[in-house]
């Protein structure tokens, strides 16, 4: 995959937005320049069944109108039904090899927490790695141990060149450190979904990432 897509990755579902209405938040974030979007419909108030499919369709079509790829978290069947641009799976979401087969030609992201998991994900065909948690966050309930951006340095030192995005507790003050450690970008939930103005929050985050990548 084009690693530029990972510069500013918004991950979001209904429960991450104060209003419970993620569409206006997504629209605002798209205006601010997010480069990739992940539909992660989990937690309190999460939609299911037809409601979830309808919301996913609406969010995918918003993303498409901005040329931003639409990735589905965990739910392989939903990603296939929607003909999404890809799927993101964790270590407990089934076999990476099987998912790779079912998503030939599409983006496959895998969450990893250490060098061994990164090696395995690369070997089994992941297109990019989500490495976290970079910092403590209340947004995810089953959070792994926080190892900080150093784990990205370790993964790079081990010779893994796959595109990497850091996730977990990242805000505009921390985004640069994550990229300096070897990530190609940052994935955020609350820094954009809870911001008063998601457009401005996205612009500021993108600026911090591109500053380190020497794009601005």
Build a one-symbol-per-residue string for 131-150: x at contacts with ligand 3NM by CB under 6 A, - elsewhere: -xx---x-xx---x------
Cα separation, 68 vs 27, in Å, equals 11
By the 8 A CB rule, do 10 and 36 touch?
yes
The kind and range of the H/E element at 214 are none
CB of 189 to ligand 3NM, least distance (A): 3
Contacts of 51 (CB under 8 A, 6+ apart): none
| Active-site annotation holds for 40 | yes
Query: Which one of 109, 149, 163, 169 is in contact with ligand 3NM (CB under 6 A)?
Result: 169
Active-site residue, selected from the candidate residues 7, 40, 62, 203: 40
Cα separation, 212 vs 86, in Å, equals 27
Query: Which lies closer to ligand 3NM via its Cβ, residue 73 or residue 199?
Result: 73
- Quick one: which segment of 25-33, 95-103, 130-138, 177-185 binds ligand 3NM (CB under 6 A)? 130-138
Query: Does residue 205 interact with ligand 3NM by CB under 6 A?
Result: no
Number of H helices, E strands in the chain: 9, 8
Question: DSSP code of 134?
Answer: S
CB-based closest residue to ligand 3NM: 132
Q: Where are the beta strands (DSSP E) in 21-69?
A: 36-39
Residues 54-113 that bind ligand 3NM (CB under 6 A): 111
Active-site residue, selected from the candidate residues 111, 181, 190, 193: 111
| Active-site annotation holds for 48 | no
Q: Scanning the structure block, which residue is given the tokens 């070997």?
A: 123
| Active-site annotation holds for 111 | yes
Compute φ and ψ for 130, nearest 5 degrees. -100, 120
Residue numbers annotated as active site: 40, 111, 140
Interface residue list for ligand 3NM (CB under 6 A): 11, 111, 130, 132-133, 137, 139-140, 144, 167-170, 188-191
């Amino acid at each position: 995959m084009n690693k530029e897509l990972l510069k500013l990755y918004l991950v979001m579902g209904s429960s991450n937005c104060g209003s419970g209405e993620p569409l206006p938040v997504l629209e605002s974030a798209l205006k601010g320049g997010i480069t990739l979007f992940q539909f992660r419909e989990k937690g309190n108030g999460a939609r299911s069944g037809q409601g979830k499919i309808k919301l996913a369709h609406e969010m995918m079509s918003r993303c498409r109108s901005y040329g931003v790829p639409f990735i589905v978290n965990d739910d392989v069947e939903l990603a296939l039904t929607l003909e999404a641009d890809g799927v993101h799976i964790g270590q407990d979401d089934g076999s990476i090899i099987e998912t790779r087969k079912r998503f030939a030609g599409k983006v496959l992201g895998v969450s990893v927490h250490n060098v061994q998991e990164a090696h395995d994900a690369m070997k089994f065909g992941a297109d990019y790695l989500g490495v976290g948690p970079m910092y403590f966050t209340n947004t995810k309930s089953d959070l792994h141990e926080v190892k900080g951006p150093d784990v990205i340095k370790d993964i790079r030192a081990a010779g893994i060149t796959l595109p990497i995005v850091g996730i977990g507790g990242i805000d505009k003050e921390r985004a640069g450190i994550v990229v300096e450690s070897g990530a190609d970008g940052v994935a955020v939930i609350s820094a954009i979904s809870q911001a008063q103005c998601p457009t401005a929050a996205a612009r500021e985050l993108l600026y911090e990432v591109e500053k380190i990548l020497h794009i601005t």
